[in-house]
Structure 1
Amino acid sequence: MTAVAHVKQEFLGLERSIVVDDGLQDVRPFNRVLESMIPKESAEHRAERHEGVRRDLDGGLVGHGTSLRECRRIPRTVFFGPSRRLRAMSTRVLAFEAWDAGSHRAVRRSIEHHGTMGWHFLTLPGRSPKWRLRHAALRFSELVRDGMGGGGEPPFPLLDADAIVATGMLSASDLRATLPRPLRDRPLILSMHENQIAYPTSDGGKAVDRDRDAHLAFTNLASIEAADRVVWNSRWNLESFVTGMRNILSHAPEPLGGRWEDRLRDRSVVVPPPVEFDEVEDATVLHNNGEDSYSGEDGRPDDLIRVAWPHRWEHDKGCDEFLRLADEAWRREQDGGPAIRWVILGQPRQTVPDALKTLLERHDSRVEQAASLPRRDYLQRLAACDWVLSTATHEFFGLAVAEALIAGCRPWLPDRLSYPELVPTDAIGLDPWSDPGWNATDERKPTTPEAESLQARIRARLEPARAANAVKRLETIVQASIDAAVDETNS
């Protein structure tokens, strides 16, 4: 088992990664390797480094099993070193990410990149979700206590945190109860990336499993009660939790009353997750400049309509509906309709849903891509598509769909879940057969003023999710929570 210490010291112009053996007993040889990598610094930089406290491991050591005690035993040169952007920071945020994978990891990285506060992330790998919800808080508290020990080194500056941020993949009530006492009164901001009520169970789930999932929903509710502020990534996420919780509580042996909902709404705010517009736009520019373009034998772009389906290969992403639409597209093509080709960009799973298996077999010649791709290739392939299709029956925001819309894809979206929040009302229910002037063209541009206007309005609707904007909004909420706590203490 290994972990990667990501050494990033922007003011020294150094960025390296080192593999560390988790079983390392004597860190002195490792220290010498690290010291040899780091150029000599000036007295000014040294003073700034010892004053600054930003942990920049990219989730590596703690996220993959190494304890904070081992972090403490490695020289602070590795883990602390303010960049130009960070040196002026005064607000410190201790953040807990219990599911450091997929969109959770993307959000964390955006916060680290765009944040202006001092963010210190402790992470765990994205696996065993039910265990994470009940176990991660205790594990994090243990790691925090491990990181506070002596040994002659300056203690890991966890107790200097001005605020705590935790995602909904842990029990925030357990976290608040078990953290060292100095951290328990810090403002706690809960980020609800998803909720366990609207999260679907597997097909054919047993009643005992559904009952167990209700316990996970109560974990969410207890976390919300323990938090000072709750950040939801969509209105749908918030409302689906409230509606589902009402239903669950209606079966409780004693009524809880309605004040839980009042408290939830009073402390809740909707902030979209950060979407890296620049990354998507760069891929679109590369496509428009000729990379990864589709053309016929004469070198001109072909007249096929390419539709991206950017979902995980799981039952909750509507594989049955996807198969039905693929069948309908082939029938219409045979009758003289547009020729649609499918670009399946989602993450495959070990067990592929039967409907998706059938689609891949029945429409093999019309599927141009059916595998996960490296990030850069994924975005370029997305930029080469004309439409983005969602058939999901579960979605709390729709990060992949948002990226596709930014890349210039037309929306083929259902009137459900979070999608009405992503696009204007008149962009819901469109498809290649009821095209409002967005026919495939050589330049993949809208062909009518109405379509061009709609594309501009979609982009404006997504602007709050631009990474810099979303992270700034999150930090505003964190700062307001800190200020409120100070005012309460002084009153």
Structure 2
Amino acid sequence: MADSSGILLIEPFYGGSHRQLTDVLSSRVEGCVVHTMTAKKWHWRARTSAIHFAQTIPQDHRFRTLFCSAVLPLSDLIAIRPDLSSLQKIVYFHENQLIYPVRKKQDGDFQYGYSQILTCLTADIVVFNSSFNMESFLGNIQSHLHLIPDYRPKDIEKLIRQKSRVLYFPIEFPVRLEVKEETSKVNKEDGPLHIIWPHRWEHDKGPDEFFECLFKLIEDGFQFRVSVIGEQFSEIPEIFDTSKERLGGRVEHWGFMPSRDAYYKALSEADVVVSTAKHEFFGVAMLEAAYCGCMPLCPNRLSYPEIFPKECLYNTPAQLLKALKRFCKFPEMAKKSSILVGI
């Protein structure tokens, strides 16, 4: 018997913000059938997930809409499963590969961006989580395709732009944060400044710059506590282990939080949330922390100027250090500042 559900929801990398969006859609939109793969080996998911889904999605169905993240090589899936070609195909870009900062440039890197271009050409609607994400992708299509030695395609940006739009990431916040009231006096007034860094433990989130800033605070005699939480994968940059040792007793929380409740509790206990990202297309964790009462300090680049007022932005590491020194001297200013700027 054919599945009467109307929406086929595909996520090849079911983790982090990809998981959050999948869960929100499947719980809020009626008629979703979800097909996922685990959040491991991102590069292999981007290359090979189409054939997996081609084999696991039932042949007998009544789907009307296909929604997927841009990790899925959509053109491959449609080629293998032509019965899905008549569906309205919507692709959501959490991030794009045309400006992804690779540490070691290789010829194979071309294919990731090229696959996303093909996915856009195959889709009916292309959705980005920020204007920065959309413009950085569309604006780099021509230069990416220029890497092709000859027979370069033309007008691809125009074809994709006319079907593109921005839809900010939907965040579900907890209804109540009881921990905020319980811990505010002890942690936000009586103790030293509590700095939190809630990002993926990868090089593109700029951990080196963050830890260097903390070490300068220590050298200059400032007191603070720090929590470094966020998702971790099989390869963790060495800077995390060496930094934990140097930070010693200043560490409050370290590592991925075991539950969403524990995660929000950690955010609620902090005063300032810092991003040092080199690669960020929305910034879910920064908004979650701001909701929990933290004063955000973000680089004046990427998607952050779209989301946060100028009072939350810094232009250089020196400006970040200066802001943290000010809050270390007067921790209560962090809370007051977050209220004054409307966070």
Give yes or no for contact 1:346–1:372 (8 Å, CA) kept in 2: yes
Post-superposition shift, 1:180? 4.4
Give yes or no for contact 2:9–2:22 (8 Å, CA) kept in 1: no
Distance 1:190 1:219 in 2: 13
Give secondary structure in 2 for the equivalent of 1:211.
Answer: coil
Deviations 1:177-234 (A, max 9, x none): 22243x3122111111222222333x4x2x5xx2101111111010001111101111
1:251 counterpart = 2:147: yes
Alignment partner, residue 331 of structure 2: 440
Q: 1:200 to 1:134 in 2, by over 3 A?
A: same
Post-superposition shift, 1:129? 2.1
**Aligned with residue 168 of structure 1, among 70, 79, 90:** 70
Distance 1:215 1:199 in 2: 13
Post-superposition shift, 1:427? 2.4
Post-superposition shift, 1:131? 2.3
Distance 2:253 2:74 in 1: 41
Distance 1:327 1:102 in 2: 29
Alignment partner, residue 224 of structure 1: 120
Give yes or no for contact 2:70–2:93 (8 Å, CA) kept in 1: yes
Deviations 1:100-159 (A, max 9, x none): 1222111111112222x4211111222222222232222212223xx34xxxxxx5xx2x
Instruction: Name which one, 1 or 2, has greater alpha-carbon Rg.
Output: 1
Structure 2 counterparts to residues 168-207 of structure 1, below 5 A: 168-181=70-83, 183-201=84-102, 203=103, 205=104, 207=105
Structure 2 counterparts to residues 454-473 of structure 1, below 5 A: 454-455=341-342, 458=343
Percent sequence identity is 31
Structure 2 counterparts to residues 337-376 of structure 1, below 5 A: 339-374=223-258, 375-376=260-261
Distance 1:352 1:52 in 2: 42
Q: 1:257 to 1:163 in 2, by over 3 A?
A: same
Give yes or no for contact 1:311–1:346 (8 Å, CA) kept in 2: yes
Provide TM-score, normalisation by structure 2.
Answer: 0.88
Give yes or no for contact 1:141–1:180 (8 Å, CA) kept in 2: no
Structure 2 counterparts to residues 255-266 of structure 1, below 5 A: 256=152, 258-266=154-162
Alignment partner, residue 23 of structure 1: none
Alignment partner, residue 407 of structure 1: 292
Post-superposition shift, 1:441? 3.3
Q: 1:190 to 1:378 in 2, by over 3 A?
A: same
Give secondary structure in 1 for the equivalent of 2:186.
Answer: coil
AA aligned to 1:326 is: L
Aligned residues: 334
Give yes or no for contact 1:230–1:269 (8 Å, CA) kept in 2: yes
Distance 1:127 1:98 in 2: 9
AA aligned to 2:127 is: V
Q: Which runs of 5+ in 1 are unaligned?
A: 1-49, 55-91, 149-154, 459-491
Give secondary structure in 2 for the equivalent of 1:396.
Answer: coil
Alignment partner, residue 386 of structure 1: 271
Distance 1:351 1:266 in 2: 39
Name the Cα RMSD after superposition.
2.7
Give yes or no for contact 2:180–2:292 (8 Å, CA) kept in 1: no
Provide TM-score, normalisation by structure 1.
Answer: 0.63
Give yes or no for contact 2:141–2:157 (8 Å, CA) kept in 1: no
Give yes or no for contact 2:67–2:91 (8 Å, CA) kept in 1: yes
Structure 2 counterparts to residues 60-71 of structure 1, below 5 A: none
Give yes or no for contact 1:172–1:223 (8 Å, CA) kept in 2: yes
Alignment partner, residue 317 of structure 2: none
Deviations 1:7-62 (A, max 9, x none): xxxxxxxxxxxxxxxxxxxxxxxxxxxxxxxxxxxxxxxxxxx99945xxxxxxxx
Q: 1:176 to 1:351 in 2, by over 3 A?
A: closer
Moved segments of 4+, more than 6 Å: none
Structure with bigger RCO (C-alpha 8 Å, 6+ apart): 2
